[in-house]
Structure 1
């Protein structure tokens, strides 16, 4: 009897400690529910309820708020009554109140940037399976921010828009050479070959993407125009190749902060003088170690450059900036489309993966959409020339 009373007292103490921690997120009202008790955080009518099967130790929340809450959600120790996306907008809009103990999470937040480790990290995400990605991406198999030119653009049209927009910025002409670093399943290079008759090469570390891109090249009879290689960007200088244009979409986030300069060095080594380089990447406002849960479960080894640090590095490379554009709201809309597709194909996904993976992936898609909406992360396209180029059209929107 005394033992049960003691356990009950400890549980209530843990609840109250956890509620005290959660009170920091009080900008909008929400309800916290345990098995026997409810607590209102903030003032007003709650817009959602966070239901806990059991309290999370405050020590874990202080070590990494994102990992503690994320794992509780994955394990169904935490569920949301109401809209998950809206709840995540609430919490991520107050991301500055999250706790991260960098000393305890050092290896997770700052892993090795050696080739073998980075190849394994990239493959852990992109080699989950083409059949899985085909369920919730559009038919272009574009796994990056789309571009919604019109309110009624569907996801497919917006991905076509994005690629067209990038190719226009690169000012391509027939016969030019184009390198795509982190080429994914190849849609950008395929469109460039079909519309501009360029000679293109893509590189990726994903075996699944490599196989699918090769299949597409053969199916479309583009062997005379396109090649794809399983290659680390650090091996580009060894090829001895020079390209008129270089593009990289959603890849530099994987190289690690210590290698941002090296990445740009490698681009410089293969880009002709006066050539154009377009870098499209997820950014953050200031330099920090990022989200522990994302690095543990979704993008191991991933670090997001700030705009200012990337611009600083580019200046040292004699890369002259022509244009910088922020597409943050486009990525919010893209992710909401992906999350809808993910739920629309839930029956098929349940045959592929267990419930923990499904909850993890849903949290990832909805969480990223919320992060772009709240400005926790952004996405930039930077267009530069290698040295001075006086031959491009004088107007910005050529």
Structure 2
């Protein structure tokens, strides 16, 4: 009797909390009761096996709802992406206490700890990523020149666009910081005959890239190293071009200037630097659930702070491009592939992992759609370079 009454009180308290997300109507169903939040016909239904304590929702709305979905306590009747669009479009109504964010975002920035954080995500396994990425094995924002582009075509467009921005020529030395599985450098070597070096902290990516170099007979053009960007200044390496795609988000806010300093240390005068990164509108810590489960230690730079840090090293910004909507389409394509491969994924991973990953892909797609995150490419030169075209040649 007492437990039943307590559960009803928690149910009512949860509904009172959810009333803040009333911009568009949705239904909440418990075992014995259902409620409508907002006005009009509900576009989706939140099915609850048991109420989430308001204390958890107030401590971190993101973690409380995310963990409930992962555990199967909360399920969505309808389209998960549409539901997340609804909630993330009202992100200002989420609650997160300072101590929760501090524990998740104030991680040690040592080389050892940051390597462990990177490996926790990227070393899940090449077999896993190959199931739902396209054949290029690119785990970053694609570029959709046409609405009908396949994911593979859009990823090829992205690489082509980046390589054109770098204004490559035969024999130039190109460094890729956070090179992933190496496709960008492979294409650069094939198309432009550059001399390329990729660095990564992921053992899985390192081994796959090494094999790809051999398979493509590019040993005379490319090399990959297991290397921290902070080791670049003492490496003795020198490059005409530097590119970094989706890596700076992992270095920590305190290290953004250091990251740019390290690029400066190996780039020749007049050299070209392209930085491709997920950015936030301001310098907030980020989402608690994402920090806890997906990208431990991850932090989104704002565009303004990254440009300011680049300016400290006398980088002259030539161009800034926002590919936010392209990342929304990329993530939706990944999730479609992910869901299509669920029978194979279930052979290795449990249901909680699968629900977590599905939530991650759809949640990020919704976050880009709602402008909570942007995807910027900054093109800059080290000092003045008057030899490059004066129009956007790409």
Q: TM-score range by the shorter chain?
A: over 0.9
Question: 2:140 matched to 1:125?
Answer: no
**For the Cα contact (< 8 Å) 1:126–1:206, is it kept in 2?**
yes
Deviation of 1:311 (Å):
1.0
> 1: CA distance between counterparts of 2:70 and 2:285?
23
> 2: CA distance between counterparts of 1:281 and 1:96?
23
Local SS of the residue matching 2:234: helix
Deviation of 1:105 (Å):
3.4
Give the corresponding residue for 2:231.
235
> 2: CA distance between counterparts of 1:180 and 1:325?
19
> 2: CA distance between counterparts of 1:197 and 1:325?
27
Question: 2:63 matched to 1:49?
Answer: no
Local SS of the residue matching 2:21: coil
Give the corresponding residue for 2:83.
87
> 2: CA distance between counterparts of 1:317 and 1:305?
17
Give the corresponding residue for 1:60.
56
> Cα deviations across residues 215-238 of structure 1 (Å, max 9, x unaligned)?
000111100000000000000111
> 1: CA distance between counterparts of 2:197 and 2:100?
42
Deviation of 1:305 (Å):
0.5
> Cα deviations across residues 319-340 of structure 1 (Å, max 9, x unaligned)?
1000000000000000000000
Deviation of 1:287 (Å):
1.1
Deviation of 1:97 (Å):
1.0
Question: 2:40 matched to 1:39?
Answer: no
Correspondences of 1:203-242 after superposition (within 5 Å)? 203-242=199-238
Question: 2:71 matched to 1:75?
Answer: yes
Deviation of 1:199 (Å):
0.1
Correspondences of 1:162-201 after superposition (within 5 Å)? 162-201=158-197
> 2: CA distance between counterparts of 1:286 and 1:37?
41
> 2: CA distance between counterparts of 1:237 and 1:95?
41
Aligned residue among 99, 103, 113 for 2:95: 99
Aligned residue among 343, 347, 353 for 1:347: 343
Aligned residue among 272, 287, 293 for 1:297: 293
Length-normalised TM-score, structure 1: 0.98
Deviation of 1:51 (Å):
0.9
**For the Cα contact (< 8 Å) 2:179–2:200, is it kept in 1?**
yes
Give the corresponding residue for 2:258.
262
Local SS of the residue matching 2:144: coil
> 1: CA distance between counterparts of 2:39 and 2:309?
46
**For the Cα contact (< 8 Å) 2:185–2:196, is it kept in 1?**
yes
**For the Cα contact (< 8 Å) 1:149–1:161, is it kept in 2?**
yes
> 2: CA distance between counterparts of 1:186 and 1:81?
40
Length-normalised TM-score, structure 2: 0.99
Deviation of 1:116 (Å):
0.7
Local SS of the residue matching 1:352: coil
Local SS of the residue matching 1:262: helix
> 1: CA distance between counterparts of 2:74 and 2:4?
20
Q: Identify unmatched segments of 5+ residues in structure 2.
A: none
Deviation of 1:107 (Å):
2.0
Deviation of 1:396 (Å):
2.1
Q: Identify unmatched segments of 5+ residues in structure 1.
A: none
Aligned residue among 282, 291, 308 for 2:304: 308
Which portions of structure 1, spanning 4 or more consecutive aligned residues, are displaced by more than 4 angstroms?
Answer: none
Question: 2:281 matched to 1:285?
Answer: yes
Local SS of the residue matching 1:141: coil
> 2: CA distance between counterparts of 1:356 and 1:104?
22
> 1: CA distance between counterparts of 2:252 and 2:19?
34
Aligned residue among 234, 240, 244 for 2:240: 244
Aligned length: 394
> Cα deviations across residues 235-270 of structure 1 (Å, max 9, x unaligned)?
011111110000000000000101111100100101
Question: 2:130 matched to 1:134?
Answer: yes
**For the Cα contact (< 8 Å) 1:102–1:109, is it kept in 2?**
no
